[in-house]
Structure formats: structure tokens, C-alpha cells
Structure 1
Amino acid sequence: MLKTAFQRYINNFKGFTREIWILAFITFINRAGTMVLPFLSKYLKEDLHFSYSEVGWIMVCFGTGSIIGSWLGGKLSDKIGFYKIMIFSLLTSGLMFFVIQFITSFVGLCISMFLIMVVADMYRPAMFVSIGAYAKPENRTRALTLVRLAINLGFAAGPALAGLIIMSIGYRGLFWVDGATCIIAILIFWIKVKEKKKSAFTDKEHPGEVLTHSVFKDKPFWIFLFTCLVSGILFFQVFTTIPLYHKEQFNLTEFQTGLLLTMNGLMIFFLEMPVVSYVERHKISKVKVVTMGCFLMAISIFLMLINTWSGVLIIMMLFMTVGEMFAFPFSNSVALSRAPKGHEGRYMAIYTMSFSLAHIASSKVGMEIIEYYGYQMNWFVMGILGLLGVIFGIWVFRLIQKEHKIL
């Protein structure tokens, strides 16, 4: 029984091209090395002694750079190719991490954080486009999921390693490691993967398909992006307001909060690929699955209204994790499938921008609501926002049905 289950799990990882495995591997190296980010606000507050307000502004510059970088990365991927953008982004941001540790002024950090994120986040849409080029169409969602697993594993390993580095050589060590991993990852990619102008798996009958309409006129895509934005805002609460709530309401330690996040990471690692394979095999509408994911996230946030029993935090995290497994891998796939050939870059740019925006909105809106009205009001507002995202998801599904496109 166990052997059969294990074999079935392993089968989910079969059928990928060599390039997709290399892409997943370098993404893991890159994300495991992304150690500055989880400790950035701590570094700014404790090492450089900035006020909360100044830390907030530096983080806004960080998020704004991320949005612009995502847009530029997608636009340039269509113009000059994803391969060049990926190499430029990781190589340049790696070198910039070496330099940024020597900048300690408020204005200097605002500018440098903005610039480094413009360059670093050009990588994300380019990487999504590369999956479209190197993966077979029937494996595309699973390939996106494999890369997401690599990101999750990298994020799980990174903070623990970062803690050891801070304890042994201080925060400066993080900048050296972060920069080095960016450069090592992209050198592996450059040596092992050759540039591909066009996918070998694209439609042979219509190789020169041109863009018939602007991305800005793709109504279902924009409505769908609202559901993605809402899902992102709800999910990022896990990293912004919820850890503070754990401490203030239930007096949980950092270790206990960490255990809940570890549970999230392990569930994603073991269950996401089988879920994706099941949906692919049974040809279930991906828009429907994303909408269900948003609904489960909304329930997860509403559960936080129960503030007298700490066990609810485990149930809440279970709902949030299953919602994440439904929403994120399939929303990638839907966004990519909406794009006409040769214009995947700008679609994936706008898609990744929605998550950069969600990151800014999640912390800023959540913190403001909590400061003025308390945690309970934040959970209520976020839950209602989640239900609004679900309504938009149903609307998109109906619009796409009218187009006779099954996503």
C-alpha cells in the first residue's frame, strides 16, 4: 500500500525536460540564498537603528521596485528574449547585493532597495516564460508546480541558514551569501541550458501567430487578476499580521509560529504535485480551482475571528495551505494560457505585478486596520475581501465559458 502510494507520488515528477529540472534546481539555489529578505526589517531596525516609519518607507521602495521590475522583465522578455533577461537579472542583482551592505543612510537605502528590486524581479516573469518554452504543453502546470516546490524548499532552508550566518558573522554575511547564490545559480543555468528562441512544443500549424488584441483589452484576464490579487493579500497575512497576532493574542513563541509555517511548507511539498496531477488528469477547470482556493483562504481568515482557543490556528493554517495549493499553481497556468504566442512576457509581467502589489497592500492595509480598529476587524475585512475575490472568479469562469475556452 505504502509502496504504491510512494510510486504514484514519484510518477508525478516524471516527463519533465532536462531544462525544467535545471530551472527548478537553480530556483532552489537562488531562493535558499534569498536570506536578506526575511531579516531585512530586523536588520534595518536593530543594526541600522531606523524608526518604524523609516523601515516602512524602505519596504515601500522595495515593493515599488518589485512591481516595476516585474513589468520590465515581462516587456523585455518579449522584446529580446527571456534567456538574456534571466542572466542579466541574477548576475547584476548578485553584484548589487555585494555593494548594498555598505550603504547605511536612509535615502541611500531607499534608492538602492528600489534599484535592486527592479533588477532582481525582472527574473520572475522571464522565468515563467522560460517554463512555457522548455515544458511540453501537457506538463506546463506541473512544471510551474515543480518550480514552486523548489521555491518553497529554498524558503524553508534559507531562514534557518540565515540565522546561523547572523549568529556567526553578522547581518553583513547575508549580503555576501545572497549575492553569491544569485551568481552561482545563473552561471549553472548559462552553462547547462542553451537559449531557445522558440519552443519546440508550440503549435506547428500556426507558428507565426500574432497578437490580435492588447493585453489591456483582455477583460477576463483583468477580472481574473483581481482574484489573484485578493488571494495574494490573504496569503501574505501569514507573513505580516498573523505572526504578530500569534504573540499578542495567544503568546506563541517564534518557534511555535515557525512550526505552523513549517507545516505549511511540508504540506505543499508532499501534496501540491499530486493535487495538480489530479486536476490535470480529470481536466477540471483551472479557473474553478483558483476560485475554490480563494474561498478556502477566506474561510481560513474568518476562522481567526475565534480568538479564545489557540487550536484554531492549526485549523486556519490547514485551510490556508489547501487554498494556496489550489490558487497559486493554477493561476500561473491560467495567466500563461491567456497569452498569445510571443506575448507571454507581458502577461506574466502583469500577473507577477499583482503579487508584488498584494505584498504591499497586505502589510500596509492590514497594519493600518489593526492599529485603528484591532485584529478582529482586520480578519473580518480580509474575509469579506476573499468572498469578493470568489465572486470575481465565478464571473471569469462564465466569461471564459462564453469564449469556448476551457482553462
Structure 2
Amino acid sequence: MKTLFNNYLNTFKGLSKEVWWLALITLINRAGTMVIPFLSLYLTKHLSFTLSDVGWIMSAFGLGSVIGSWLGGKLTDKIGYYKVMVFSLLTTGILFIALQFLNTFATFCLGIFLVMLVADMFRPAMFVALSAYSKQENKIRSVTLIRLAINLGFSAGPAIGGIIITSLSYGGLFWVDGITCMVATLVLINVLNPKKAKILDDVKTKSPKSAYSDKAFLIFLAAMVIFGVVFLQYFSTMPLYYKDAHHLNEFDIGIILGMNGFIIFVFEMPLIKWLENSNFTKSGLMLFGGILTGLSFIILNFTNWVGILIIGMLLMTFGEMIAFPFSNAFTMDRAKKGNQGEYMALYSIAFSVAHIFGHNAGMRMVDALGFDNTWYIITLLAALCVFLLFILRHYLNATKKRKEKIKKEEEREILWI
């Protein structure tokens, strides 16, 4: 047992001090956004908005996320990741506190749009910072550490939020959200100032390549949007499936969903460390992650046995653990050839777009077609994602061979001269 524990700890070794600080800042920030899980309850019970109103507010939420990610990427390339991160965290704190004073439909739509616009400017800037503070060989594990911080934050946030609502009210929730963002800002200013921190991989390209002209990256983005739509069903339609089709109660549903976070916390870092040392390519691993996630849906239609829900969750969790870190690392690698902020922004936007359409599409399909047919369609979407990743892998291999051929021809010409 002691050996296993030591081996587990060893998977975290070699990461820079700045990456650990960045993980702590992310943990504080994500745990702090505890308003989000209670937003629909707040809007319907506290402000008496209709479900239609809530739908439009969530659309404003998603639109703000998309524009914020894009703007964050642009500003990161213009003024640097540090300034964008400080502005985003501090301003988000102020906006969260102000949000509680908005009580009409129009003002709340505008308010949540502005909150998400400013809050999601942080994401591309954070990923560029992560790349700068990580050695090349540690980048994937650095991303994995940030994912662990995000998962811990999302796990702790709702629990703390529930306690605050019961003891203080919803108003207290907004205040705590705002203050935690400001605390994260203070930590960032004190420990991650580029003038003091040790930058390990500060990439500056003289003639940066636009992400929009990178064919391989555009294929990859299309695959990630589809993967996001598939993956998000586990956090919208799947809980309904557990309750309506298998008659599980809220406690049982919480246990199954909580299993996802627990497995990620325990197994993701060792798994990534092992895969990093293997001969698998990033595109091949993303493809495999997509296959596992697709299988997690199709197997649900094979049997009514309740244990199949556990198997489905395990398949999805391992698919997620493989696909997300390596897709992020793939983006970082491509970003070295161009505007890093632009690349990381588009990667974030892919999942923001999935949020806008994924939940709504899944709900509508379940309502119109039932769960079984919905899982067939979601599996087909996962297959389309895998197909695009297969095309990406083929394109990258062909590009690599073409470059090697050109290099050999150039070497022959030099020898001939």
C-alpha cells in the first residue's frame, strides 16, 4: 500500500511551483463559482421567472462564455496572459456581487452575459500561462493537475453553496462568490507575477500563424464541439434517465455522478503519466477517448440491469480522462506555431458552443424520441467525432511524411552541390 501511495505521489513530481500555484488559483476560482449550480433554482424560486425566461437567460450565459473566450484569447496575444487573468478574476468578483441586485428579466440577461464574458476571458489566458510555466515534457501532466483542481472545485462548490443558502440566503452566495474571486486575484498577484515567476517555455513566434488557417486544428475543433455535445449529456439528460428510466433517487444519482469525480481524482494523473511514456500519439489517444465515451451510451440500450449505469459511467470517465488532457496538450503544441491566445480561445469556445446546443438538444430529443433513441443518436454523434479524429490522424501523418520527403530532397540537393 505504501509503495502504491509513493508511486501515486511520484506522478506529481517535476511540475513547477508556478503550476501548483495556478492549480490553487483555479481551485479557489472554481469552488467560488457556486452560484452557477443553483442558478435555475434562484431564478425560478427567488425571482419567480418562468422556465422559458430561464432558457433565454442560459442562452445569454452561453453567449457570454463564447464571446469571453474569444476576447480573452485576443487580449492575451495583445497584452499578455497575466494582465488578462488579473482583470478577469477581479472584475468577475465585482460583477458576481452586483448580480444579486438585478431582479428583472432584461437586466439579469445582461448581467449574466457580462459575468460570463469577463469570467471566461480567464480560460485562454490561464492555458497560455500554464504552457509558459511548464516544461515540454510536463505539459500534459500540468493540464491534468489543473483538471483535478477544477473537479475538486466543482465538487466542493455546490456543497458549500448549499450550506450558505440555508444559513445566509442566496444573497450570501453572491457575496462569497465575489469575495473568492478577489482572493484568487490576490494570490495570483503575489505568486504569479511574470517578473518574479520562473517562465520555462515562453514561446514567441516572429510570424505567427492564424489558427483559422490551420486545417488540422479546424478538423480538431469540429471534433471537440461534437465531443462536448456528447459528453455534456452526462450532466443534463443522463440524471433524468437515471431517475425516470431506472427509478433511482437523488442520493443514488449523486453517488453515480460523484463516482466520476472520485475516479478522476485517484486515477487520472497515474494514467496520464503512463500514457505519456507510451508510444501512442495524441490524436490516437483522443480517438480512443471518443470511442470509450460513445460506447458508454450505446451499452445502455442493451439491458435494463441497473449495473449497466456503473459500467457506462466508468467508460465515460476513462474516455474523458484520456480525451481532455491530450486534446488540451494538442492545442498547446499547435499554438506554438501561431497566436497562443487565439488557439487556446478557440479550444475553450468549442466547449462553450457545446454548452449552448448540447443540453438543449439532448432535452428536446429525450422529450420527442425517448431515451433509447436519444442514446442511439448520441452514439452516432460520438462516431462522427471519432471519424473526424481519424481524418485528423491521417492528415497529420500525411503532413509529417510530406515534410520528411521535402527534407530528404533538400539534403540530396545539398550533397549534389
Common fold: TM-score over 0.5 = yes
The CA distance in 2 between the partners of 1:388 and 1:65, in whole Å, is 28
Q: 2: CA distance between counterparts of 1:153 and 1:197?
A: 28
1:390 aligns with 2:389: no
Q: Cα distance, 1:374 vs. partner?
A: 1.7
Alpha-carbon distance in structure 1 between the residues aligned to 2:279 and 2:178:
42
| Aligned counterpart, 1:356 | 352
Counterpart among 213, 234, 239 of residue 235 in structure 2: 239
* TM-aligned CA deviation for residue 304 of structure 1: 2.6
Moved more, 397-406 or 217-226: 397-406
Shift of 1:231: 1.8
**Displacement after TM superposition at 1:403 (Å):** 2.3
State which structure, 1 or 2, has the greater radius of gyration over its C-alpha atoms: 2
**Are the structure 2 counterparts of residues 198 and 161 from structure 1 closer, same or farther at C-alpha, using a change threshold of 3 Å?**
closer
Match among 247, 254, 260 for residue 256 of structure 2? 260
RMSD: 1.8
Q: What is the percent sequence identity of the aligned residues?
A: 48
Contact 1:245–1:375, Cα closer than 8 Å, also in 2: yes
Q: Is the 8 A contact 1:297 1:319 kept in 2?
A: yes
**Aligned partners of 1:387, 1:211: CA distance in 2, in Å?**
37
Q: Contact (CA 8 Å) 1:299, 1:319: kept in 2 or not? A: yes
Give the structure 1 partner of residue 137 of structure 2: 138
1:370 Cα deviation from its structure 2 partner: 1.5
Is contact 1:17–1:135 with CA below 8 Å preserved after alignment?
Answer: yes
Of 93-102 and 210-219, deviating more is: 210-219
Q: Which residue of 1 aligns with 2:211?
A: 215
Q: Deviation of residue 246 (structure 1)? A: 1.5
Residue deviations 1:337-361, cap 9 Å, x none? 0113561110000000000111111
Deviations 1:72-102 (A, max 9, x none): 0011101000000000001001000101001
Cα displacement string for residues 102-131 of structure 1 (whole angstroms, at most 9, x for unaligned residues): 101111111111111000000001000000
The residue number in structure 2 matching 1:294 is: 290
Give 1:324's match in structure 2, choosing from 320, 327, 331. 320
Note the C-alpha offset of 1:305: 2.1
Question: Do the aligned partners of 1:33 and 1:178 also contact (CA within 8 Å) in 2?
Answer: yes
Q: Distance in 2 between matches of 1:226 and 1:342?
A: 19
Q: Deviations over 1:175-223 (max 9, x none)?
A: 11111111101111101121269984348xxx75333532111111111
Counterpart residue number, 1:45: 44
Gaps of 5+ in 2: 404-417
Residues in 2 aligned to 1:225 and 1:288: alpha-carbon distance in whole angstroms: 16
Asked if structure 1 preserves the Cα contact closer than 8 Å seen for 2:209 and 2:338, the reply is no
- Residues 305-320 of structure 1: pairs in structure 2 closer than 5 A: 305-306=301-302, 308-320=304-316
Separation in structure 1 between the aligned mates of residue 102 and residue 201 of structure 2, nearest angstrom:
46
Structure 1 pair 306/36, CA: closer, same or farther in 2 (3 Å)?
Answer: farther
Q: Hey, what's the Cα distance between the residues in 1 that align with 2:107 and 2:378?
A: 35
Structure 2 partner of 1:66: 65
1:228 is aligned to: 224
| Residue identity matched to 1:24 | A
Partner of 1:7: 6
TM-score, length-scaled by structure 1: 0.95
Amino acid at match of 1:158: G
The alignment status of 1:165 with 2:164, answered yes or no, reads yes
Tell me if structure 2 keeps the 8 A contact 1:133–1:196. Answer: no
Q: Which runs of 4+ in 1 moved over 6 A?
A: none
**In structure 2, what is the Cα distance between the partners aligned to 1:81 and 1:24?**
19
2:208/2:338 contact within 8 Å kept: no
Say if 1:81 and 1:197, in contact at 8 Å, map to a contact too: no
Question: Quick one: distance in 1 between partners of 2:397 and 2:197?
Answer: 30
Given that residues 18 and 197 in structure 2 are in contact (C-alpha distance below 8 angstroms), is that contact kept between their aligned partners in structure 1?
no
In the other structure, the counterpart of 1:149 is: 148
Q: Would you say the 8 A contact 1:295–1:386 is kept in 2?
A: yes
Please name the residue that 2:281 is paired with: 285
SS state at 1:238 partner: helix
Distance 1:213 1:73 in 2: 18
The one-letter code matched in structure 1 to 2:224 is: C
Q: Give aligned pairs, total.
A: 402
Q: What corresponds to 2:412 in structure 1?
A: none
Provide closer, same or farther for how the CA distance between residues 211 and 276 of structure 1 changes in structure 2, counting only shifts above 3 A. farther
DSSP-derived class of the 1:363 partner: helix
**Counterpart-to-counterpart distance in 2, 1:159 and 1:316:** 24
Query: Which runs of structure 2 are paired with 1:10-25 in the superposition (5 Å)?
Result: 10-25=9-24
- Please, what TM-score do these two structures have when normalized by structure 2? 0.93
Q: 2:272 aligns with which of 272, 276, 280?
A: 276
SS at match of 1:304: helix
Q: Structure 1, unaligned stretches of length 5 or more?
A: none
Partner SS, residue 245 of structure 2: helix
CA distance in structure 1 between the partners assigned to 2:341 and 2:23 by the alignment: 19
Are the structure 2 counterparts of residues 159 and 307 from structure 1 closer, same or farther at C-alpha, using a change threshold of 3 Å?
Answer: farther
Give the CA deviation at 1:17.
1.2
